[in-house]
Amino acid sequence: MQPVNVIAMITTKPGKRADVLAAFKANVPAVHAEEGCIEYNAVIDMDGVGGFQAELGENSFAVIEKWESMDALMAHAKSDHMKAYGAKTKDMLDSRTIHILKSA
């Protein structure tokens, strides 16, 4: 079975990225403990890269995920800790786009 890759693009309301990232980081141990979680990590722009970088910006971050299967991803999405994280952060977000990808 082919792993499922996810890239979630998160844009917070101005000045709220640190608060959302704090809530995200508090939730990471629960996600890592889920069956089928291979990778789950928030990333922000790297400084000093140069002109070829397309920056996310100061109010945005990406979540890079890898799951053993679509079933594992769907269980993650329905988990109580993800519901709680979503409720805690929803008023701090401007947008969230989730890309579910497979190897080419």
Say which CATH number the domain at 64 has.
3.30.70.100
User: How many independent structural domains does the chain possess?
Assistant: 1
Per DSSP, the three-state class of 60 is: strand
Radius of gyration of the chain (CA): 14
Is the pLDDT at 4 greater than 90, yes or no?
yes
Q: What are phi and psi of 74, to 5 degrees?
A: -65, -35
Q: What is the mean pLDDT of residues 8-12?
A: 98
Instruction: Name the pLDDT band for 39 (thresholds 50, 70, 90).
Output: very high
User: Which pLDDT score is estimated for 76?
Assistant: 98
- Mean pLDDT within 7-29: 98
pLDDT tens digits for range 46-102: 998 878 889 999 999 999 999 999 999 999 999 999 999 999 999 999 999 999 999
For residues 64 and 68, give the distance between their C-alpha atoms in angstroms, rounded to a whole number: 14
Spatial separation of the C-alpha atoms in residues 7 and 66, rounded to whole Å: 9
pLDDT recorded at residue 93: 98
CA distance 100 to 4: 7
Q: Which domain does 21 fall in, by range? A: 4-101
Kindly tell me if the per-residue pLDDT of 1 is higher than 80.
no
